[in-house]
Amino acid sequence: MTNAINRGEINPMQLEVYWSVAFAPLYNLVRFHFEGRSIGGKPFILTDKALWETFELVIKALKK
């Protein structure tokens, strides 16, 4: 994280904030996948499409 900040790629932020934004979405997708359902009990299977869509949104959120 420090290198990305020094290179001007992301804004300075607390490690906990970075960790929450960067990894919580993946954690939730994996949890939904293992439980076989998402919010409201709707069936869910993690796909490459969902994974990459989430990745792109996380990168967009962290980028300067």
What was the pLDDT predicted at 1? 83
What was the pLDDT predicted at 23? 94
Output 64 or 55, whichever has higher pLDDT: 55
Q: What are the structural domain ranges in the chain?
A: 2-62
What was the pLDDT predicted at 60? 94
Q: Tell me the sheet residues that pair with 10.
A: 63
pLDDT at 64 over 90: no
Q: What one-character-per-residue DSSP string does 13-43 give?
A: --HHHHHHHHHHHHHHHHHHHHHTB-GGG-B
Q: What is the pLDDT of residues 1-42, one digit of tens each?
A: 889 999 999 999 999 999 999 999 999 999 999 999 999 999
